[in-house]
Chains A and B, each alone.
Chain A
Amino acid sequence: MLQIKNLHASIPDEKQKTKYKNILRGVNLQVNPGEVHAIMGPNGSGKSTLANVLAGHEDYQVTEGGAFLDNQNLLTMEPEVRATAGLFLAFQYPVEIPGVNNMYFIRSALNSIRKQRNLPLLDAMDFLTLVKAKMKEVDMDEKFLHRAVNEGFSGGEKKRNEVLQMLMLEPRLAILDETDSGLDVDALQAVAKGVNSLRDSQRSFIVVTHYQRLLNYIIPDVVHVMVHGQIIKSGGKELALEIEERGYAWLEKEAQG
């Protein structure tokens, strides 16, 4: 499903905009249909950069390598085309958009994707029935439909809204960028429940996280450790437990040695 080959990417230096800072330094990853991959790693290791590069954020510049979704070159696609191709990124910091109604936004997104897939568009009533059912799954109050996108939402509400969008858009590949950070146990379980309800043999997930905690609820098939812009170790779900116990330093040493 997803193939990442020797991917290098950089972002403009915050102080000197003309200079670029290398973040990804040769990422290789293969995600097969139906698999859940977790990517763990310390702060600044490049996990979020990888997620944003895959979604097509224009601040990041790919300098080498490639990424393919169902054998299509992701990197030459516009962000909206990647979404209609089946990619979904649940943002670490979902942006607040005052003045854009949440329901209108989700419906526009869904119908835009349905249009690309040659499916009939949903009218307001059908949409409402569907979205209300999905909101129940993530334990989200219906009042959030009538507010502006993420505006004034708490951290947990924003993350639930991300998972709600994922449930509505039914992507082929969903990337969750630290969706667990700052969540209490209830919200964490709601997020996991949403993800697990979508899991099937054709759909894949990349779960980016600092902590093993989320992986108690979303059981990964493969765990990767990313350090300094590279995946330095991959293993089964037990690797996450080992990291929880021992931290990342030993892995960095192992990689250097």
Chain B
Amino acid sequence: MNWLMDFRTQQLKQFNENGLPTRKNEWWKYTDIQKNAIPDNAGILKESLDVSEWSAVSDILIVFVNGHFSAKLSEMKAFPKEVIACTINDALKTKEDKIKSCLLRERNEKQFPFATLNSAMMTDGLFLEIPKNVKCITPIHLLFIHTDQTDFSTSPHHIILANPNSQLTVIEEHVAKNAQRYFTNTVTEIHAGENARIDYYKIQDDDLTATHVGNVFVEQHKDSCVKTFTFSKNSRLTREDVSVWQKQDGAETSLHGLYVLSHDQQHVDHHVHVDHLASFGTSSMLYKGILDKKSRGVFNGKVHVHPAIKQINAHQENHNLLLSNDAEMNSKPELEIYAEDVKCTHGATIGQLDDEALFYLLSRGIEKNEAHRMLVHAFSEEVYDKIEDETIRLYIQQRMNHYEE
């Protein structure tokens, strides 16, 4: 496939020309990616491990080890026959046209330098296509295990195509078992056709020495509904971008995030962007963060309503709880509105635990640690409450260590 080789060479050249984003780049103002965070070595497939720890949330488990698909560790028996699924590498052979149109889509390289790098380095990933009118109820759980290796890079690339009136839930989870200083650079492309509904969850539970960069690109068509949830817990540095283009009327987007940083030097940056290119759309963002020790968080949420677009309802919220005096949060909500018939609200707060609430709990005999835990949990509850599926909600709460009773 000459086009692919040409494209990847061109993308690599492009990335090398621009270099790593510096803090002069407005999309990377608060996040400094060091060159040594990106090792040259590729991941190696290892298949002698137990994945049962992660099998509770769905009957469908698709496992990637150090960036490579493992058929041996995956559990596909319950996979619905109507849904087309294969690795990106297989899809390049059999569904070249579809992949080509996704990969060759133009993007702002200054804004998404790591998507450019991903195109150049792409290791593997999942191609998922759900036909018209098919509703896939069982969530598809993608598990990325980083194991028994240090100083390596993986660049997974997923493409999710939901045809009109289809429905799909995907959980993408990144975990580590005895792996250090690895670099993950993911791209997930989601195309929601007319009246399609997609729920997408990302759980980032990497090793504390890892660097994780993720880009989720969402394209929405008429009356489609896309919900995303991004949970970030470990890793030394995480950068998650969710970028949505509402291309046709009546699209509905809700984006949620919860980041819990409890270690020194941890850094999590969320850049969330909704482009309203069509009318009668709604979008909402709810991102919450809990920062302890010397951790640092960044949130940048942007709603862009283009000229001549009508009847947009956009809502944006970022709330943060600082548990230590050394933690730092940079929150920047942005609205760019070029149309008139639009309702937009935004709010950002950075605060500490409510002393009066804490005293109330203590005055009832609840121990200090437990009272703290209850209030921190209460703060994150608002995000968990948005997860309609109870199995998924409990699974994620457990993964995030907030599970109770």
Interface, chain A (partner B; CB < 8 A)? 55-58, 78-80, 82-84, 88-89, 91, 94-95, 97-100, 104-106, 108-109, 112-113, 116, 124, 148-149, 165, 169
Contact = CB atoms under 8 A, between A and B. Distances in A.
A21 to B, nearest CB: 19
Contact of A79 (B354, B363, B370, B404): B363
Q: DSSP majority for the B interface?
A: helix
Given A56-B363, A58-B359, A95-B360, A80 B368 contact: yes
Contacts, number: 86
B310 to A, nearest CB: 35
B7 interface: no
B384 to A, nearest CB: 9
Contact of A109 (B354, B364, B381, B382): B364
A97 B360 contact: yes
Contacts of A97: 354, 357, 360-361, 375, 378
B367 A112 contact: yes
B356 A98 contact: no
B354 to A, nearest CB: 8
Nearest to A82: B363
Contact of B365 (A91, A104, A112, A148): A112
A82 B375 CA distance: 21
Contact of A105 (B368, B374, B380, B381): B374
B366 A108 contact: yes
Given A95-B356, A95-B357, A95-B360, A83 B365 contact: yes
Contacts of B362: 56, 78-80, 83
- A-B pairs, top 5 by smallest CB distance, nearest first, are A99-B378, A83-B365, A109-B364, A99-B381, A79-B362
B377 interface: yes
Contacts of A108: 366, 370, 374
B79 interface: no
A55 B361 CA distance: 12
B366 A100 contact: no
B54 interface: no
A91 B382 contact: no
Nearest to B371: A80
